[in-house]
Amino acid sequence: MPNWLRWILVLPVALLSYFAIQVLVGIQSDTLPLPGSIQDLWSQGVNSVVGPWAFVFVGAKMAPPPRAFETAVTLGVVYGMFTGAVAILALLNSNRVHNPLWLTTAGALGVLAVIGTCLHFRVARQSKPSGHVTTAIE
């Protein structure tokens, strides 16, 4: 696949993977033999970690390989800005937020998943031979 196409597809593929994870975990949680509130808590907890991980991991994998780490960091910043915006809106409308502690915990778990994913790509980049010279387009 040409690099220009990889760059075009980074964000759409990242978003699609995020939403696909949300749906798949939601469907899977309905099969758990647990009370509804526990199923909901499990589903939200898993989605808080796996959704952001998929967003960053799949998006970075779509980018040209020499730029996977930089792409992971960029997508991580995008996710962090989104999470920060949601947190600010929750604070401004705290009387409408059902459980602000859960919202904060879920956001923190997502950010930790994103950081871990970025570290994965950093380690992968460091373990490759350094003989490859990249261009600004790669």
How confident is the model at residue 131, as a pLDDT?
54
**pTM of the shown model:** 0.84
Which residue, chain included where needed, has tokens 């749906």?
23
pLDDT in tens, 75-118: 999 999 999 998 888 878 777 767 777 888 888 999 999 999 99
How confident is the model at residue 60, as a pLDDT?
96
**Which sequence spans correspond to the domains of the chain?**
3-126
Q: Is 25:45 a contact under the CB 8 Å cutoff?
A: no
Residues 6+ apart with CB under 8 A from 8: none
Q: What letter would DSSP give residue 34?
A: S
Tell me the two tokens of residue 78.
């995008």
